[in-house]
Amino acid sequence: MSIFVNKDTKLVVQGITGRDGSFHTKQMMEYGTQVVAGVTPGKGGQKFEGSVPIFDTVAEAVKETGANTSVIYVPAAFASDAIREAVDAGCRLVVCISEGVPVNDMAVTYKYVKERGAQLIGPNCPGIISPGQSKVGILPAQITAEGKVGVVSRSGTLTYEVVDQLTRNGLGQSTCIGIGGDPIIGTGFLDCLEAFENDPETEAVVLIGEIGGDDEERAAEYIQTKMSKPVVSFIAGRTAPPGKRMGHAGAIVSGGKGTAESKVKAFEAAGVRVADKPSDIVPLLAESYEPARKALEGR
């Protein structure tokens, strides 16, 4: 098991012929993801890497190949349209990698996706990987390993850092998901925590938050009231000055809200251990999760 993507994921890549799209499609194919179609308007009829059919529209791609999931690598100005196109064509899961999507567009797109019962991950996210099954997005697969720890994060490379440490310590992952750093994202911590809680394969969860918003605070409450599995967290941005956007559009402390302190406090109040630095995550996990303890001891 795993959450959101698995062996049955049949992927259509929107923007498959672009620089990033083509690079990462090759990586996904090498990993074993079922990439069944690509979409680039005007290139319908061609083949990607000699094997993946390219279509002008997602509707056609879904109709011809039965794709159930889409990943988007188009420029930000076209990302909202691409998300809506994928949902309209029947994709149940849409992963939007594109960075820089206007937030007011996303507010409407979010409604569009929800109303049609689909799920969006991102935008501005690294995607999702269920090791050994399917990789959708840009996460570097070589640092992951099959296993039972779920990882959810608002960051990209910081996720890799943490996943890398898990793997090096012998802790494989059920699914690693980067939900994105924008103020409005399709899938939040709560959705992922609920899915991990319900996934029989997942035994523990690592949550990586950052400054801005109050998603971590709400996640803390959820963990305290609804989760049975151990969760360890890390919050980035303790040294970030207020009023400054730290790269991510959503990572900003404003009006005294969204501070790392508030998030750490919320997690600690909820009984969730918070790591002071990324390398503390595995040791903290060992306190409540037996396999982590054994893995550390075995080193």
Binding residue (CB under 8 A) for other proteins from 38, 213, 267, 281: 213
H-helix segments, 51-96: 58-65, 76-89
Tell me which stretch binds other proteins (CB under 8 A): 4-12, 38-46, 190-198, 261-269.
38-46
Asked if 135 and 69 count as a contact pair (C-beta separation under 8 A), the reply is: no
Footprint (CB under 8 A) of other proteins, residues 251-280: 251, 255-256, 276-279
Residue among 82, 80, 66 nearest 16 (CA): 82
Footprint (CB under 8 A) of other proteins, residues 150-169: 153-161, 164
Asked if 159 and 248 count as a contact pair (C-beta separation under 8 A), the reply is: no
DSSP 89-151: HT-SEEEE------HHHHHHHHHHHHHTT-EEE-SS--EEEETTTEEEES--GGG--EEEEEE
Binding residue (CB under 8 A) for other proteins from 244, 261, 268, 271: 244
Tell me which stretch binds other proteins (CB under 8 A): 144-152, 181-189, 194-202, 266-274.
181-189
Binding residue (CB under 8 A) for other proteins from 10, 17, 56, 63: 56
Q: Does 170 bind other proteins (CB under 8 A)?
A: no
Site track 61-100 with other proteins (rule: CB under 8 A), x = hit: ---------------xxx--xx-xx--x--------x-xx
Catalytic positions: 248
Binding residue (CB under 8 A) for other proteins from 176, 177, 249, 270: 249
Q: Which residues contact 236 (CB under 8 A, 6 or more apart)?
A: 155, 158, 208, 209, 210, 211, 260
